[in-house]
Amino acid sequence: MAGAFKPDVTLPGLWTDKPDWLQRLRALAATGHIDQTDADQLAHFAEHGWLLMERAIEPELVDALVNDIRNLHQHPGYFATTDFRHNRSHKLNGNQPDPLESIFDLYVNLQSSRRVCMHPSITHFLGLVFQAKVLAFQQLLFQVTNGHQWHQDTAYVVVDTPTLLTATWIALQDIEEGSGELAYYDRSHRLPHYIFSNDSKHSDGDTADYPHELEAACQTSQLAHHRLLAKKGDVFFWTADLVHRSHPLVLPPDTPRLSCVTHYCPATSMPHWFREPDKRGIEPYWDVGGFASSFYALPNVSQMVRPVARWEFYN
């Protein structure tokens, strides 16, 4: 077996994922630093492992991002995308519209992406969860579902402290049932840690049984299964270990499911590629945090795709 649930393992984690989160929330409230809405949202996130902020992103901001996505082909070679057609991990975009491949780390080149994934409602909430500034570091813009199987992001999204991790799933359109909507198990973030055969939370590559083991554990614990039929502008947050997947597609494979997934860690943590000193570029974002990318050369980094200077892209 490639891995197993280990009830005896405890690891550092976000305060909202700790068993004493309620005490910590009361202590935070006592500082006067948060209001009742913050407290309710933090309590929901701690208890369930996820939080839905309905219509948190204004339609104009969503429309601006969608418009930019429709026009990416006007800037061939500037955007890293998946390459499902050739079964490769990524490629650069071409000069024709491509409604199927997913696009990586659009926050590097698109102000419209930054304004969506670092929206004040997101950075405010994650700032409270992290008690630190917010580093956005792995983003996928899905045009259609990628058909992900059951997983916890800790298996595939690798940070130096694996559990200091959250994500958002932002609907850029009303999501249709059967289009590969996000599915998740409520409260699954509190299952025992799943440890791979390499003694870590990160996948060892042998993941044939992993989705089924996760699903079985959620069902044995009688966790509620949810499907997210999000509306345009909704922001769905989940914590490091929430078990989720793309619900199987029943509509035609080219059914649009336009959504933006961004992973975040506290700015005091490091995504895995920061192990290489010349890949530690961070692009600051006002006073709330910043962006890191394994695809693009951010300040002082060479050998990767060149980010487009703002003046160059928008003229």
Beta bridge partners of 265: 135
Question: Which residue has its beta carbon closest to Fe ion?
Answer: 153
Longest dimension (CA), the chain: 57
**Rounded least distance, CB 228 to ligand AKG, Å:** 9
Residue 237 sits in the site that holds ligand AKG (CB under 6 A): no
Residue 234 sits in the site that holds Fe ion (CB under 5 A): no
Query: Using the 8-state DSSP alphabet, how is residue 101 labeled?
Result: S
Among the listed residues 57, 72, 134, 140, the single contact to ligand AKG using CB under 6 A: 140
User: Please, which of residues 42-81 interact with ligand AKG by CB under 6 A?
Assistant: none
Rg of the Cα atoms in the chain: 19
User: Please, which of residues 175-194 interact with ligand AKG by CB under 6 A?
Assistant: 180, 182
What is the rounded distance in angstroms from the CA atom of residue 150 to the CA atom of residue 22?
Answer: 29
Which residue, 14 or 25, is less far from ligand AKG as judged by CB? 14
Helix (H) or strand (E) holding 8: none
Interface characters, 259-298, with ligand AKG (x: CB under 6 A): x-x-------------------------------------
Residue 96 in 3-state DSSP? coil
Which one of the spans 149-157, 206-214, 283-291, 298-306 is the region binding Fe ion (CB under 5 A)?
Answer: 149-157
Q: What is the dihedral of CA 96, 109, 101, 181, to 10 degrees?
A: -130
Which one of the spans 112-120, 127-135, 148-156, 194-202 is the region binding Fe ion (CB under 5 A)?
Answer: 148-156
Structure tokens at 201: 């939370």
**Rounded least distance, CB 310 to Fe ion, Å:** 30
Which residue, 25 or 169, is less far from ligand AKG as judged by CB? 169
What is the rounded distance in angstroms from the CA atom of residue 151 to the CA atom of residue 16?
Answer: 20
Residue 153 sits in the site that holds ligand AKG (CB under 6 A): yes
Structure tokens at 175: 């999501």
Residue 153 sits in the site that holds Fe ion (CB under 5 A): yes
Residue 206 in 3-state DSSP? coil
Structure tokens at 46: 């701690």
Amino acid letter, 210:
Y
* Helices 36-48, 21-30: inter-axial angle, 10-degree rounding: 170
Size of the site for ligand AKG (CB under 6 A): 13
User: Please, which of residues 244-263 interact with ligand AKG by CB under 6 A?
Assistant: 244, 246, 259, 261
What is the rounded distance in angstroms from the CA atom of residue 139 to the CA atom of residue 106?
Answer: 7
**Rounded least distance, CB 262 to ligand AKG, Å:** 9
Say how many C-beta atoms besides its own lie within 10 A of residue 217's C-beta: 18
Residue 189: name its binding partner from Fe ion, ligand AKG, none (Cβ under 5 to 8 Å by kind).
Answer: none
Residue 290 in 3-state DSSP? strand
**Rounded least distance, CB 263 to ligand AKG, Å:** 7
Chain contacts with Fe ion (rule: CB under 5 A): 153
Chain contacts with ligand AKG (rule: CB under 6 A): 140, 142, 145, 148, 153, 167, 169, 180, 182, 244, 246, 259, 261
